[in-house]
Structure 1
Amino acid sequence: MVSLLCCGPKLAACGIVLSVWAVIMLVILGIFFNLHTAGLFEDLPFEEDDFSQDNPEKIFALFESVSYNCFIAAGLYALVGGFSFCQVRLNKRKEYMVR
């Protein structure tokens, strides 16, 4: 019988903790980037010619692009957290199996 168990119980628990923290942090960052928070302006990947125009739309588009990237990364961390949770469940089931 093929086992889907590939992580130990401690590694799986660590994966859950890190995933929960990353999802919370990245969702909050995504919200703040979507609100065009001035404190996060230095984290934008802008160039010098972006400031030559009086039109701030290019900077706002950068804020939204980084916001979407944060939400995508949060989704990927949620998938890793789900995988870690499944590994914890498989480890618990393995403890109760008799050979």
Structure 2
Amino acid sequence: MHELSITQSIVDVCCERAGDRRVLSVRVLIGALTAVLPDAMLFCFDVAAEGTAAEGARLDIEHRAGAVHCRDCGADTELADYLLLCPCGSADVRVVAGNELTIVSMEVG
């Protein structure tokens, strides 16, 4: 379960940035192509935050769909799954969205 180590890193960064203030909430953006399970991250957040300035904080997760640009036909396509193919059948695509894993914001108090 790599979500625990990812979540621990998020908690560490937020606590470092918060200084001596409490972290009340954290908002992250998770792309569909990252192979990070949002439910697992939610489960891990309370464990990772225990005993830190983020204990009791809320984790809000924003989802981003995967999308590719086809180098053959020029189409931009949102992906329904992990299969990196254009509807034209080409596999010559460039991922343009869905590989994000970013802390968007945090609220401190």
Question: Which has the higher Rg, Structure 1 or Structure 2?
Answer: 1
Report the TM-score range of the alignment, normalised by the length of the smaller protein: under 0.3
Q: If each structure's helix is expressed as a fraction of its own residues, which one has the higher value?
A: 1
The structure with the greater share of residues assigned to strand is 2
TM-score (norm 1): 0.27
Specify which structure has the bigger relative contact order, considering alpha-carbon pairs within 8 angstroms and separated by 6 or more residues: 1
